[in-house]
Amino acid sequence: MPKLDNTITQFCDRAGNRVVDAGHPKYQQGDVIINKKGDRFSGVPENVWNFYVGGYQVCQKWLKDRKGRTLSDEDILHYQRIVVALQETIELMAKIDAAIPGFPIE
């Protein structure tokens, strides 16, 4: 999908070898930090970081599931696409909510 290729985040390598450390990821002012050295995704909107699907905080869980692993270029691009997809989802949900006058629909 072309929209997913318009990534809004950058990956900053800070000599942590792209490894997801235990106790990570951590969110700080738009940055998702994945290890003690400070490798990070920057530009992650707070509402995207805090978005839950099925009881899971998606942006956190995806990285936690890769604890101890080195992120490949494909992993990094996939995560960046997840952020875009969630942002689009949040925007669509807001449009749907605005279009429906009340619930239940009468």
How confident is the model at residue 2, as a pLDDT? 76
How confident is the model at residue 8, as a pLDDT? 95
Q: What letter represents residue 70's amino acid?
A: T
Contact 51, 86 (CB under 8 A): yes
pTM above 0.85, yes or no: yes
State how far the Cα of 27 lies from the Cα of 73, in Å rounded to an integer: 21
How confident is the model at residue 106, as a pLDDT? 66
The low-confidence residues of the chain, meaning pLDDT below 70, are 1, 105-106
How confident is the model at residue 1, as a pLDDT? 62
